[in-house]
């Protein structure tokens, strides 16, 4: 079997219980106080269960949150860029104390796990938003989540997951880190590049992934399927796009499609680090970071982050602290002059870019028009056209 990269922190930390321990705690959970989780917190809990958030063992306490926000490190010095927080208004958790257990449920009040409370602390929502996202503008979806869905009191402690989320969608693609690692090892992939996406893959993305595939043994297309903002393309539509693209334009034996269960935070540079570290837990050795990774625009259409902030942030750390090699790609497009995909690094002088703005692209799809094949593959365009018709 191939020697795989170690998980972040050295050990894959899975917080799911089984057997008699699970049964005993599940019985106890029925009589515990309950906290109903938001969708993004359900994703966090599920990732804690399977080790995707290694080395974390639960929701962060005060010292961990402050360390991550201020230095992008856990208190022991391990790089970690975004706080994983469970917080509620004080009046909802006022009777809880350190040492208590509380059951964590989904929207239907099904018990998913138990939080073993080690720390109850004042959660500074303003500081959380400002330091994690670089803004306190509630038009930013990550800020809005912190300010409106969390609360002023944080609950930190290890979790014991009793029931994994029973997802009905993409079941064959929901692979835990130990499963992707087993797959890579079986195929002898020692180096694996990963591509994070919350959008359909267009020709520029296809180019980036194939360049990465030139220098690694395999490629993991790992789209995020947790909670996203309302105007993003739904995950089920995107998955159809990925499948048709891989079936027709990629080498089948060197590419794996699996889904990433995280919720989107739209945290730009900090989220780029978070995405890379999580993929390390899945067995990935190389991670693609393009222009404005995990970015989002304000009401005026301006990005909250600079075009290459998500690449430059990695320069703050020693390569071995991240442990994953970062592919930093420039903006790419099809050039009529050279008749191929180019980037700012490779384009000839007076390059003739074939480009379509996002607004123009949406207008074309809404009208049932296939965009230029230099922009998107026709099979992908057709799926998006059908989606637009349905809307």
What structural domains does the chain harbor?
Answer: 19-161 (3.10.400.10), 171-390 (3.40.50.620)
Alpha carbon distances (Å) from 43 to 25, 166, 264, 315: 21, 12, 10, 29
Which tens digits make up the pLDDT trace of 191-216?
Answer: 999 999 999 999 999 999 999 999 99
Catalytic residue status for 350: no
CA–CA gap between residue 89 and residue 235 (Å, rounded):
31
pLDDT value for 367 = 92
What's the mean pLDDT when you consider all of the chain? 95
In angstroms, the Cα distances linking 79 to 71, 111, 167, 274 are: 9, 32, 31, 9
Determine contact, residues 260/174, Cβ cutoff 8 Å.
no
Could you say which of 15, 145, 181, 198 is catalytic? 198
Question: For residue 1, what pLDDT is reported?
Answer: 45
Judged by average pLDDT, the poorest of 65-69, 91-95, 122-126, 176-180 is: 91-95
SS3 state of residue 256: strand
- Using DSSP, state whether 337 is helix, strand or coil: coil
pLDDT value of position 356: 81
Output the pLDDT for position 268: 97
| pLDDT attached to residue 158 | 98
pTM: predicted TM-score of the whole model, two decimal places = 0.96
pLDDT reported for residue 9: 97
- Catalytic residue (one of 199, 248, 316, 362): 199
Confidence of residue 243 (pLDDT cuts 50, 70, 90): very high
Helix 268-281, helix 125-133: angle, nearest 10:
80
313 pLDDT more than 70: yes
pLDDT single digits (tens) 132-187: 999 999 999 999 999 999 999 999 999 999 999 988 899 999 999 999 999 999 99
Task: Confirm whether 198 is a catalytic residue.
Answer: yes
pLDDT of residue 71: 98
Residue 2: what pLDDT?
58
What is the per-residue pLDDT for 203? 94
């Amino acid at each position: 079997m191939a020697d795989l990269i170690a998980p972040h922190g050295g050990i894959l930390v899975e917080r799911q219980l089984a057997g008699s321990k699970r049964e005993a705690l599940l019985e106890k959970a029925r009589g515990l106080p309950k906290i109903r989780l938001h969708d993004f917190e359900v994703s966090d809990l599920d990732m804690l269960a399977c080790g995707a958030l290694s080395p974390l063992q639960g929701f962060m306490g005060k010292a961990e949150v402050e360390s991550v926000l201020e230095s992008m490190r856990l208190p022991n010095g391990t790089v970690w860029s975004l706080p994983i927080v469970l917080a509620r208004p004080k009046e909802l958790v006022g009777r809880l104390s350190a040492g208590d257990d509380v059951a964590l449920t989904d929207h239907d009040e099904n018990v998913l796990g138990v939080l073993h409370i080690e720390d109850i602390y004042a959660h500074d929502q303003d500081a959380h938003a400002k330091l994690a996202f670089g803004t306190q503008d509630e038009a930013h979806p990550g800020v809005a989540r912190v300010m409106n869905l969390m609360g002023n009191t944080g609950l930190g402690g290890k979790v014991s997951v009793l029931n994994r989320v029973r997802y009905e969608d993409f079941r064959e693609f929901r692979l835990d880190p130990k499963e992707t690692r087993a797959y890579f090892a079986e195929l002898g992939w020692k180096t694996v590049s990963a591509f994070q996406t919350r959008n359909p893959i267009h020709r520029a993305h296809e180019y980036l992934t194939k360049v990465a595939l030139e220098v690694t043994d395999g490629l993991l297309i790992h789209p995020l399927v947790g909670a996203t903002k309302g105007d993003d393309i739904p995950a089920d539509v995107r998955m159809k796009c990925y499948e048709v693209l891989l079936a027709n334009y990629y080498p089948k034996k060197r590419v794996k499609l699996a889904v990433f269960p995280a919720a989107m935070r739209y945290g730009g540079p900090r989220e780029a680090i978070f995405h890379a570290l999580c993929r390390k837990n899945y067995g990935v050795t190389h991670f693609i970071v393009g222009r404005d990774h995990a970015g989002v625009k304000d009401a005026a259409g301006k990005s909250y982050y600079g075009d290459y902030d998500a690449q430059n942030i990695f320069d703050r750390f020693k390569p071995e602290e991240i442990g994953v090699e970062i592919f930093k790609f420039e903006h790419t497009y099809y050039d009529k002059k050279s008749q191929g995909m180019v980037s700012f690094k490779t384009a000839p002088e007076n390059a003739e870019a074939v480009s379509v703005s996002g607004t123009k692209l949406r207008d074309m799809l809404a009208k049932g028009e296939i965009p230029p094949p230099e922009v998107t593959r026709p099979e992908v365009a057709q799926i998006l056209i059908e989606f637009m018709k349905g809307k």
